[in-house]
Amino acid sequence: MIFLKQFLFTVGFLLLFGCGGGGGGSAESGLSTNVDAADLATTEPIVSTSSTRLADNVIANKASIRMFEKYTIRIDLNLIEHQGNFRFLKMNDRDGNILFLGQTNKEGEIQLPLHITVNDFPLNAHIFSELASDETHIIEVNYDASFIQ
């Protein structure tokens, strides 16, 4: 019997605090539940907000509708002369984030598939060898819609 009273007391306590303690909404409380659509429309952009509502957050001018697309970057290594035995490629985006770093073929064409946004362009491809005497070739890759697969 004591267990039943304790159980009912605990459930009642949780219900009371779980629903916020009750209290009806009234017009004198200062809160209005009726919102007119004209009140929400604003012509001034909000600069900074901590709101998670989409309407409160301004989209940056550099934002794109396409998020991640697959782009295949092709680089012809036959045009680059190095004396070293190994050839390396470092590909980074415009912010300096490294997208690829590794050893490649010494000659031929590199086809590098990347999943990036339009805003990541221009990309920089650094091609170098293990010898300090070999020059590092930097190739800038700009956005071209034909990259999309």
Q: What are the residue ranges spanned by the domains of the chain?
A: 69-147
Pair 73, 92: CB distance under 8 Å:
no
Taking the alpha carbons at both ends of the chain, their separation in whole angstroms is 72
pLDDT for the residue numbered 2: 76
- Taken as a whole, the chain contains a residue count of 149
pTM of the model: 0.52
Q: What are 82-114's pLDDT values in tens digits? A: 888 899 999 998 888 898 899 988 888 888 888
CATH 2.60.40.3110 fits 69-147, yes or no: yes
Euclidean distance between CA atoms 97 and 15, whole angstroms: 52
Euclidean distance between CA atoms 120 and 99, whole angstroms: 10
